[in-house]
Structure formats: C-alpha cells, structure tokens
C-alpha cells in the first residue's frame, strides 16, 4: 500500500509542475502557447479556476479558525479579498477562451512572421477600484 502524500509534498509537486509549465510556455510557438493558456486560464477547470477555488476554500477554513481565535481575522479578510479578485480575473480572462481556441486549432501560417518594424496595437484593460 502506498503511503498518503502529505500536503507539503503535494504543494511542492504542484509548484514544480507550474515552474515546468511556465518554462514550456516561455518557449512555445503561438499555437502551443494558446493551447497552454486556454487550459491554464479556464475559469472552471483550469489552473486559475482551481487556484481560485483553493483560495476560496482557504477563506472558509481561516474564517472558522478566526472565529475560534486561532487565526487573526485579518488573515480571513485578506484571503476573502484574494479569492474575490482571483474569481473576477478568471471571469475576465474566460471571455478570451474562444480566441485561444481559435489560435490553438488554426493551421500553421505559411507566411513569415511580422518584421520588427511593423507596429502592433496592444490593448490593456484595467479595473478601477
């Protein structure tokens, strides 16, 4: 029988895998990058969605422990704000899933990439608080 994995070992393994995925993403071609981002940023089943759920669970756990006086209330409130922010970010990014899907399934381009002198427009959207 295999001994159960400790929470520390599980978190360390996830951290290592995220580092490996980040390295792969940094070297990915556009289609592979879109595939990776589509899976990572999926609000329901992707890494961001699952991280948001994990922090949400942490909020409930710290609330319980804060009410019993073990954790400071500020910890519970900070985790709650973080869970809300992650959830909002996941929803914002979920709007772009179709674009990632389209790029990920697109046939490779036969033309050369744009030259360095071509200007491209990047649009940044921010949330005002």
Tens-place pLDDT, residues 27-72? 999 999 999 999 999 988 899 999 999 999 999 999 999 999 999 9
Q: 115 or 37: whose pLDDT is higher? A: 37
* Per-residue pLDDT at 129 exceeds 50: no
Please give the structure tokens belonging to residue 4.
């159960």
């Amino acid at each position: 029988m295999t001994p159960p994995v400790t929470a520390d070992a599980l978190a360390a393994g996830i951290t290592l895998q995220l580092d490996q995925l980040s390295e792969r993403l940094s070297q990915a071609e556009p289609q592979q990058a879109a595939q990776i981002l589509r899976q990572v940023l999926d609000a329901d089943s992707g890494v961001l969605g699952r991280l948001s759920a994990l922090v949400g669970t942490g909020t409930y756990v710290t609330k319980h422990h804060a009410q019993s006086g073990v954790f400071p209330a500020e910890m519970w409130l900070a985790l709650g704000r973080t869970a809300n922010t992650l959830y909002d970010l996941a929803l914002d990014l979920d709007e772009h899933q179709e674009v990632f899907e389209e790029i990920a399934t697109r046939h490779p381009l036969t033309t050369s990439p744009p030259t360095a002198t071509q200007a491209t427009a990047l649009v940044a959207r921010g949330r005002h608080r």
